[in-house]
Structure 1
Amino acid sequence: MAKTIFKTTEKSNFILNMTEEQYSKLASRGLIAAMLAVPLFTIIPEVTDKATYAFSAGGLAVGGVICMILALIALMKKYIGKGAVIPVCAMGALVGWGVISLINGYDLNISLYGYPNRGEGLLALMFYFGFFTTAAAIKREKAIETLINGIVGVGLLNSAVSLIQIFGINDHYQFASFDYEIMAASGLSMSPIFLAMVLTLALSAALIGFVTSENKKRRIIFICAAMLFSFVMMFTYTVIGICGLVFSLIAAVIAVFALKAPKVRLVSVIGSGAGAGMAVILVCMGVIGNITGYRTYDGRIAWWADAYMRAAASGNFNSSVINIDDPVDVYTYMNEKTMNIIGKNPLTGTGPEQLAFPQVYKVDDLTEIEDIVTANDGIFDKTYNEYLYTAATRGIPSLAVLALALIPALIMGYKAFRRRKNAEAFTAFVLTLGGVLMFFISCSSIAYAPVFWAAAGTACAYVETEKEKKSAEKLAKKNTKANKKA
């Protein structure tokens, strides 16, 4: 008989009567909605000047609320496996210490909601907890497959917009400087760097899906998606885009051998490489913009086009201090300066999204935070190493609990693949590994984080194999017979 409380109807108590299968189905769809919310909301500021990128943060809030509710249901129903307790608690501690960092930060409002046009304040951390916990509670393989399809879908949505930017008009990233017209793609991820991160996960999922799927239609969609993703990734003109492409191709090759897929499906690697090659050829032929050679523009994109021009979150770069055209020089400078900031406040950091604030050296008569920040040349708001960024903005304790979430997720993901030996488990592990590695050379964003934390949570999910299900059914029958005899 279905459970009810306070003599209410069965339908009004659907949470009490929800099965693991029903929850998994609902959770996978909720996570897909959450992953799509930010890019869909970003369409508005991309097509009109009447809306800022705070609108994108509204998309995160919508998806975050959905997953916070689902996470609460998972905790109530005790769907979190024993192995996932440590990473889930670590994610909770990340939010908890974020509150302490918020209180000690420079600006409480920005600590809570995030910097305008960025949106990764304390509320975002709470939503990331919801994404991770919801995914960790999934109990069915089919739901994980649905979630993987959703990640590919996010990549397709971003890539469709990126094609318009590459061959059409690109307001934010048409120029890497006043001289270089490069038509860089940002999709609906707000920055080419963040787009490269999103597409790394989407490309990995598509390639592994093609290699392992027995469904012909699914394979056709995935190979076409993989070629498109590879093509677009090269138009991010970033180191992370190239690294992400290489990582995805290696993952596909390993998938063929680890999952004993037909060797002929290695054609996906060739096809994906061809997509990237075509992008480079178009650039070298002078078809795109006014350049005739391909190279990366990390410094100009990250510091000038994104942080300074689009988000008003940093000052302009100082050419007498760094070589903006040398990614190693730019990233090394940012990391070294960030480590100095960590040393000054190692316990609680600067406050969420406030890395630029301790670098400000003049205020004059300015009152708006965007005007103050942009008036200070040589300061930046993001360091492209998420681990350093976490320690600098939210303190070393936050970095410690972040490691307590990510390392167990990697271990559990690998063990899940060894136990289940299927494409879904392998994909969850690969996406988590890719995200952990990318955090060494890039940073989180509201466009990327929902995808990553959903994948990382899925790596922690405990899904029973058919053999384990049969053993459990046999044990249940034995117990039932024993109870009847008693």
Structure 2
Amino acid sequence: MAKTIFNTTENSNFILNMTEDQYAKLASRGLIAAMLLVPLSTLIPEITDKATYALSAGGLAVGGVICMILALIAIIKKYIRGSAVIPVCAMALLAGWAVISLINGYDTNISLYGYPNRGEGFLAILFYFGFFTTAAAIKREKAVNTVINGMVAVGAVNSVMSLIQIFVKNRYYDLASMDDKVMAASGLSMSPIFLAMVLTLALSAALIGFVTSENKKRRIVFICAAAIFSFVIMFTYTIAGICGLVFSIIAAVIAVFAFKAPKVRLAAVLASAVPAALAVVLVYAGAIGNITEYRTYDGRIAWWADGYMRASASGNFNSSVVNIDDPVDVYTYMNEKTMNIISKNPLTGTGPEQLAFPQVRAMNGKSEIEDVITSNTGVFDKCYNEYLYTAATRGIPSLIALVLALVPSLVMGYKAMRRRKTAEAFTAFVLTLGGVLMFFISCSSIPYAPVFWAAAGMACSGIETDKEKKASGKLAKKALKAEKK
């Protein structure tokens, strides 16, 4: 008999009566909604200057609330089991310490909601806990497959917008400098670097799906998506984009041999390499913008086009201090300065999304925070190393919590992949590994985080094969019979 409380109807107590299969189905749809709401919300500010990127944060909030409810259900129903409790508790600690950082930060409002046009304040971190916990409770292969399909869909939505930006216009990233018209793509991820991160996970998922799927239609869709992703990712003109492409191709090759797939599926390599090469050829041919040489523009994109021009979160760069055209010099400078900020406040950090604040030297007669920061030369708001950024903005305890969430997820994902040898477990581990590595050369953002934390949660969820599901079902029935006796 179905459970009820206070003599209410069975329908009004659906949570009490929800099975794990029903939860997995609902949770997978909730995660897809969360992953898609940010890029779809970003569409409006991308096509009109009458709307702000606060809409993107609004999309995150809607998706975040959905997943927080799902996470609460998972905790109540005790769907978080075994070793997965450790990383879930670490994520809770990450969110909890963000409150301490919020209280001690420079600006409470920004600590809570995030910097305007960025949106990664305490509430975003709380939502990341929801994404991770919801995914960590999904143990059904079919539901995991649904989430993976959603990740590919996120890449597709971003890529459609990116193609328009490459061949028509992108108001923030057409220019890498006053002289270089590069027509860089940011898709619906707000920055070419963030787009490169999103496409790395989407491309990996598409290529592995092509290699491992026995469904012909799914393989066709995935290989076409992978070709488009590979073409677009080169137009981010970033180190993250190139590294992401290489990582995805390596993952696809490993998948071919690990799952003993037909060698013809090594065509996945060509499906990525050829479109990527075509992108470079178009640049050298002078068909894109006004440049005839392909190279990365990390410094100019991260510091000038995104931080300074789009988000008003950074000051202009100082060419006498840093070589903006040398990505290594730019990232080294940012990392060294960030480590200096960490040393001054290692416990609580600057407050969420306030890395720029301790760098400000003068108010320059300004009252709005955006005007104050942009008037200070040499100030940056992202260091493009998520581990350093976390320690600097939310303190070393937050960095420890982040590591305690990621390392167990990787370990459990690897063990699940070795033990079960399923495409779903392999994909979840690979995407988590890709995200963990990507955090060394880039940083979190609200378009990327829902995709990554969903993958990391699935890596430690203990995805069950159909045989394991049947076995656990039989055990549950035996336990129920014994309880009745």
Common fold: TM-score over 0.5 = yes
CA distance in 2, matches of 1:261, 1:253: 10
CA distance in 1, matches of 2:30, 2:124: 17
User: Residue in 1 aligned with 2:169?
Assistant: 169
Q: Give the CA deviation at 1:416.
A: 1.0
User: Residue in 2 aligned with 1:463?
Assistant: 463
Residues 42-441 of structure 1 mapped to structure 2, 5 A cutoff: 42-441=42-441
Corresponding residue pairs, total: 485
CA distance in 1, matches of 2:443, 2:483: 56
Counterpart of 2:15 in 1: which secondary structure?
coil
User: Residue in 2 aligned with 1:6?
Assistant: 6
Closer, same or farther in 2 for the Cα pair 1:425/1:360, shift >3 Å? same
Amino acid at match of 1:435: G
Counterpart of 1:79 in 2: which secondary structure?
coil
User: Residue in 2 aligned with 1:18?
Assistant: 18
CA distance in 1, matches of 2:82, 2:272: 39
Which segments of structure 1 move beyond 6 Å, counting only runs of 4 or more?
480-484
Q: Give the CA deviation at 1:468.
A: 3.1
Q: Give the CA deviation at 1:473.
A: 4.9
Q: Which runs of 5+ in 1 are unaligned?
A: none
Q: Give the CA deviation at 1:180.
A: 0.1
Q: Quote the sequence identity (%).
A: 79
CA distance in 2, matches of 1:482, 1:238: 60
Amino acid at match of 2:265: R
| Equivalent pair of 2:307/2:380 in contact (CA under 8 Å) | yes
Closer, same or farther in 2 for the Cα pair 1:323/1:423, shift >3 Å? same
CA distance in 2, matches of 1:479, 1:86: 27
Q: Give the CA deviation at 1:469.
A: 3.7
Amino acid at match of 1:315: G
CA distance in 1, matches of 2:480, 2:452: 42
CA distance in 2, matches of 1:283, 1:345: 45
Q: Give the CA deviation at 1:48.
A: 1.2
Deviations 1:69-97 (A, max 9, x none): 00011011110121110100000000110
User: Residue in 1 aligned with 2:449?
Assistant: 449
Q: Give the CA deviation at 1:400.
A: 0.2
Counterpart of 1:118 in 2: which secondary structure?
coil
CA distance in 2, matches of 1:478, 1:265: 44
Q: Give the CA deviation at 1:55.
A: 1.1
Deviations 1:183-207 (A, max 9, x none): 0000000000000000000000000
Closer, same or farther in 2 for the Cα pair 1:481/1:270, shift >3 Å? same
Amino acid at match of 1:313: A
CA distance in 2, matches of 1:36, 1:481: 43
Counterpart of 2:290 in 1: which secondary structure?
coil
Deviations 1:308-366 (A, max 9, x none): 00000000000000110000000000000000000000000000000000000010321
Deviations 1:418-437 (A, max 9, x none): 12111000000000000000
Q: Give the CA deviation at 1:475.
A: 4.5
Deviations 1:238-269 (A, max 9, x none): 00000000000000000011111111100011
- Identify which range, 49-58 or 28-37, moves more after superposition: 49-58
User: Residue in 2 aligned with 1:29?
Assistant: 29
Counterpart of 2:340 in 1: which secondary structure?
helix
Q: Give the CA deviation at 1:271.
A: 1.4
- Identify which range, 111-120 or 4-13, moves more after superposition: 4-13
User: Residue in 1 aligned with 2:38?
Assistant: 38
Please tell me the root mean square deviation across aligned C-alpha atoms, in Å. 1.2
Counterpart of 2:50 in 1: which secondary structure?
coil
Q: Give the CA deviation at 1:474.
A: 5.2
Amino acid at match of 1:46: E
Counterpart of 2:408 in 1: which secondary structure?
helix
Q: Give the CA deviation at 1:471.
A: 4.0
CA distance in 2, matches of 1:447, 1:482: 49
Q: Give the CA deviation at 1:476.
A: 5.3
Q: Give the CA deviation at 1:270.
A: 1.0
CA distance in 1, matches of 2:291, 2:415: 47
Amino acid at match of 1:268: A
CA distance in 2, matches of 1:483, 1:80: 23
CA distance in 2, matches of 1:157, 1:476: 42
Closer, same or farther in 2 for the Cα pair 1:141/1:107, shift >3 Å? same
Counterpart of 2:407 in 1: which secondary structure?
helix
| Equivalent pair of 2:364/2:375 in contact (CA under 8 Å) | no
Amino acid at match of 2:95: V
Closer, same or farther in 2 for the Cα pair 1:463/1:365, shift >3 Å? same
CA distance in 2, matches of 1:227, 1:483: 55
CA distance in 1, matches of 2:70, 2:341: 37
Q: Which runs of 5+ in 2 are unaligned?
A: none
CA distance in 2, matches of 1:212, 1:132: 25
CA distance in 1, matches of 2:120, 2:176: 25
Deviations 1:132-154 (A, max 9, x none): 00000012100000000000000
CA distance in 1, matches of 2:477, 2:318: 73
CA distance in 2, matches of 1:483, 1:122: 44
- Identify which range, 35-44 or 472-481, moves more after superposition: 472-481
Counterpart of 2:52 in 1: which secondary structure?
coil
CA distance in 2, matches of 1:317, 1:409: 38
TM-score with structure 2 setting the length: 0.98
Q: Give the CA deviation at 1:477.
A: 6.3
Q: Give the CA deviation at 1:482.
A: 6.7
Amino acid at match of 1:2: A
| Equivalent pair of 2:209/2:222 in contact (CA under 8 Å) | yes
Q: Give the CA deviation at 1:470.
A: 4.5
CA distance in 2, matches of 1:346, 1:163: 43
Closer, same or farther in 2 for the Cα pair 1:431/1:480, shift >3 Å? closer
CA distance in 1, matches of 2:460, 2:349: 29
CA distance in 1, matches of 2:93, 2:292: 50
Q: Give the CA deviation at 1:211.
A: 0.2
CA distance in 2, matches of 1:453, 1:104: 26
CA distance in 2, matches of 1:372, 1:255: 50
Q: Give the CA deviation at 1:467.
A: 3.8
Counterpart of 1:15 in 2: which secondary structure?
helix
Amino acid at match of 2:266: L
CA distance in 1, matches of 2:11, 2:483: 32
